[in-house]
A and B are shown apart, each in its own frame.
Chain A
Amino acid sequence: MATKQLWETRPLEFWNKAKELRAGWQKSIESVENVVGQGNCMWASAFPAVTVIEDNPVGAMMQNKNEPYARKARLASEIRGWGREICGYQGNCWGGQFLGYIEDGTPWPRRRMVVPMPCVCDQHAKRGQQARDFENMPQWMADMVIYPGPFDEERNEALLEHKIYCSLRPINDVERIFGQRFSEDRMKEIMEGNKLVREYAKEITYLMAQTIPSPLSVKDLYSVYTIGGLTKVDPEATVAFWKMVRDEVKWRADNHIAAVGNERFRWIEAHPPSWHYMKYYRYMEEYGAICLGSQYAHMMGGAPEFKPDGSIGVRENSQYPDGTEMSTREDIIRVSQGKEARSLNAFKIDEYIRRDAIVEFAKIMQADGALLAIWRHGVGCTLTRKEQGMYLKEAGVNVMHYEGSQPGDRTDLDEKRLLDQLDTWMQGLGFRRQVN
């Protein structure tokens, strides 16, 4: 069933801009002399002198760029008490802090505070705690809230107050401990920018889902994925960049420019890919199979809601409530938390998103198959993955699982076994690889 190229392809134009933005960010963290925070905290960007470095992308990048160094960092973590079968993102990242140098031998940008965040993954609850244990730096737990089922007004009230406290406390503490100033205006700008980026991201998702051939593969999307988070410090640049991406994707969709020229099989994934082995996307493309991403990949657009008419929206309760007074710091934080305390991005826990939405997602993406990774070392990444597979199979999607350690740790990823499994999957469906 080998076919020739069916559609025209073109290189992406936003690529260079993305590279430039990423390089700029990399530079900004290398030269940090101010306070470096760790964690998933939007408020931190409203401190001009606080830079947020998340351990997940850092850990993933370490493994991706320099395997021996990442391995060494993990060993440094392991001998201090980090289980070797536990999350590699953090094993890498904090191992780096223990080693004290980055790959090229230059000093490690030391973090000076940590903001862990549980619930998406239990291992996030311990985020950075190792550094706190060894170096006595301040830590603020940013509790996330979950419960299954529909929105519950009664439960929401106390939970929302708790969440607001968890954001306000560190803001006040950072001012007190580090003598920094929190800028309310900056916070508002960031929220505005965030709103726009969500809109663009949502539209990109929609274009990828509805257009055959898809104008963008997730491989391309991932190369710009972190930019939303990385450039939080500069909302204008972020918004401008996402507008650029959206425009190009729209143009490609209108003109039938394909991401994969011989697209014959559309597949989706579950959540983080193996960041250290992205080659499998290209391998699958040789079979004419395009990856359209995961709920995780399309999370930029906010907690998704798939409407019966096939369009994609954002769950109302996760939006910033409109028209609310934002005069005090507390007001702003309150608005930034949205109406619902529950973390709607905690897609692994929320029953609706995990169980029903993955099937809806597959349908919206017009997916023929799903490749669900099961990670031995990552609880949040693996939780209920097998169950999801069953719901997808029930819905008629062809599912395959593959094993690895964790997206930031390639110890247990048997690359050749993965490729063999991909061969089986595709050849079993009658496709043959087309090597150019």
Chain B
Amino acid sequence: MITAGIDVGLEYIKAVVMKDGAVAGKASGLSGGVGRPAAVQAVYDQALAAAGVKAGDVEKVISTGKGKFDVAFSADQLSETVAAAKAAKIFEPKVTTVVDIGADEILVATIDGEKIKEFVINQKCTAGLGLFLEGMADRFDMSIEEVGKLEGPGSVTVNDGCVVFAELDALSLLNRGTDAKEIVKALNEACAWRANSTLNDIYKPDNGCVVLLGGMTQNGAFTKALERISGIKFVIPAEAVYAGAIGAAALAAD
């Protein structure tokens, strides 16, 4: 059985084609504004090509992510948390908690069999993770890979609650001649504090097997800081970035 999952995130579109429970092809691309339906189609076509199948061969497509309704051809639109939970179960059958940290939001869900027992999302005041760091990297003329290597805690700190203030703090530090690398360390650290705040929001944290998914898994400095602050050892699957799409494709096969 061939199914496909498309995860339309705030910043990137991820598409996965699955053949009998295994990933046959995947692709990703920028998730634009108005042009998004076209971008979705392009990314989907790439994934199909990678899998070596035709659109007609795919039995069911499920879309997920913030922009799930922009996929005109999907049979169903499911919540990204549900897709992430499904993917986490595929990667790590013993999973008890799934954490999805992306461009803007952090989702934490504790899993009980097929159901999500408890689910929390970051408060709006603490939104802004990947996208924020990317913006700051751009501001400091750094690549996002470089940012991911600068592990804190550094010599300075920035606001750990609000990214708008954090940016102001960062600029202020820059103004006073602080080294950009130190500032970036502080930014990574602040993001980790912010994310931990949402992890702590779960009423009964189940830290047995915590699977970490989403784009921010690519930022090593951040994940290490988060592990240090929260005291949780995360399981980070290799396909963490594609988790939403994989989950959606697997749900389509159910």
A contacts B: CB pair < 8 Å: yes
Using a CB–CB cutoff of 8 Å, the interface residues on chain A facing chain B are: 376, 389-390, 393-394, 398-401, 403, 412, 414, 417, 420-421, 423-425, 427-430, 432
Residue of A393, A400, A403, A428 touching B82 (CB-CB under 8 A): A428
Residues of B near A427 (CB, < 8 A) are: 78-79, 82
- Cross-chain contact A393 with B204 (CB below 8 angstroms): yes
- Cross-chain contact A430 with B78 (CB below 8 angstroms): no
Known: A417-B124, A427-B78; 16 extra A-B contacts, CB below 8 A, are A376-B125, A389-B203, A393-B203, A398-B117, A399-B118, A401-B120, A412-B124, A420-B79, A421-B121, A424-B79, A424-B121, A427-B82, A428-B82, A428-B85, A429-B115, A432-B76
Give the A-B pair count, Cβ closer than 8 A: 49
Residues of A near B85 (CB, < 8 A) are: 428
- How far apart sit A399 and B80, CA to CA, in the bound complex (Å)? 19
Instruction: Using A393-B203, A420-B66, A420-B79 as known contacts, say yes or no to A400 and B119 having CB atoms under 8 A apart.
Output: yes
- Cross-chain contact A428 with B124 (CB below 8 angstroms): no
Residues of A near B81 (CB, < 8 A) are: 424, 428
Within the complex, the shortest CB–CB distance from B33 to chain A, in Å, comes to 15
Residues of B near A417 (CB, < 8 A) are: 124
Within the complex, the shortest CB–CB distance from A190 to chain B, in Å, comes to 44
Provide a sorted-by-A list of 30 A–B residue pairs whose CB atoms are within 8 angstroms. A376-B124, A389-B203, A390-B203, A393-B204, A394-B203, A398-B117, A398-B118, A399-B203, A401-B120, A403-B123, A403-B124, A412-B124, A414-B124, A417-B124, A420-B79, A421-B121, A423-B79, A424-B79, A424-B81, A424-B107, A424-B119, A427-B78, A427-B82, A428-B81, A428-B82, A428-B109, A428-B115, A429-B116, A430-B114, A432-B76
Residues of A near B123 (CB, < 8 A) are: 403
Within the complex, the shortest CB–CB distance from A290 to chain B, in Å, comes to 20
Within the complex, the shortest CB–CB distance from A359 to chain B, in Å, comes to 14
Within the complex, the shortest CB–CB distance from B197 to chain A, in Å, comes to 13
- Find the residue from A394, A424, A429 having the highest chain B CB count within 10 A: A424
> Which chain A residue lies CB-closest to B109?
A428
- Cross-chain contact B78 with A428 (CB below 8 angstroms): no
Interface on chain B toward A: helix, strand, loop, or mixed SS?
mixed
- How far apart sit A412 and B125, CA to CA, in the bound complex (Å)? 11
Within the complex, the shortest CB–CB distance from A165 to chain B, in Å, comes to 42
> Which chain A residue lies CB-closest to B202?
A393
Within the complex, the shortest CB–CB distance from A66 to chain B, in Å, comes to 25
- How far apart sit A414 and B82, CA to CA, in the bound complex (Å)? 21
Closest 6 CB pairs of A and B: A428-B116, A424-B79, A423-B79, A393-B203, A424-B81, A427-B82
- Cross-chain contact A430 with B119 (CB below 8 angstroms): no
- Cross-chain contact A428 with B79 (CB below 8 angstroms): yes
Within 8 A of A (CB), among B72-87: 76, 78-82, 85
Residues of A near B124 (CB, < 8 A) are: 376, 403, 412, 414, 417
Within the complex, the shortest CB–CB distance from A386 to chain B, in Å, comes to 9
- Cross-chain contact A428 with B204 (CB below 8 angstroms): no
- Cross-chain contact A393 with B118 (CB below 8 angstroms): yes
Residues of A near B80 (CB, < 8 A) are: 424
Within the complex, the shortest CB–CB distance from A284 to chain B, in Å, comes to 14
Residues of A near B204 (CB, < 8 A) are: 393
Residue of B66, B114, B119 touching A425 (CB-CB under 8 A): B119
Residues of B near A432 (CB, < 8 A) are: 76
Residues of A near B121 (CB, < 8 A) are: 421, 424
Residues of A near B115 (CB, < 8 A) are: 428-430
> Which chain B residue lies CB-closest to A394?
B203
Within 8 A of A (CB), among B125-158: 125
- How far apart sit A401 and B116, CA to CA, in the bound complex (Å)? 15
Within 8 A of A (CB), among B102-119: 107, 109, 114-119
- How far apart sit A68 and B123, CA to CA, in the bound complex (Å)? 26
- How far apart sit A400 and B78, CA to CA, in the bound complex (Å)? 18
Within the complex, the shortest CB–CB distance from B109 to chain A, in Å, comes to 7
Residues of A near B82 (CB, < 8 A) are: 424, 427-428
Within the complex, the shortest CB–CB distance from A48 to chain B, in Å, comes to 48
Within the complex, the shortest CB–CB distance from A283 to chain B, in Å, comes to 13
Residues of B near A403 (CB, < 8 A) are: 123-124
- How far apart sit A400 and B109, CA to CA, in the bound complex (Å)? 11
Within the complex, the shortest CB–CB distance from B116 to chain A, in Å, comes to 3
Residues of B near A389 (CB, < 8 A) are: 203
- How far apart sit A324 and B156, CA to CA, in the bound complex (Å)? 70
Within the complex, the shortest CB–CB distance from B87 to chain A, in Å, comes to 14
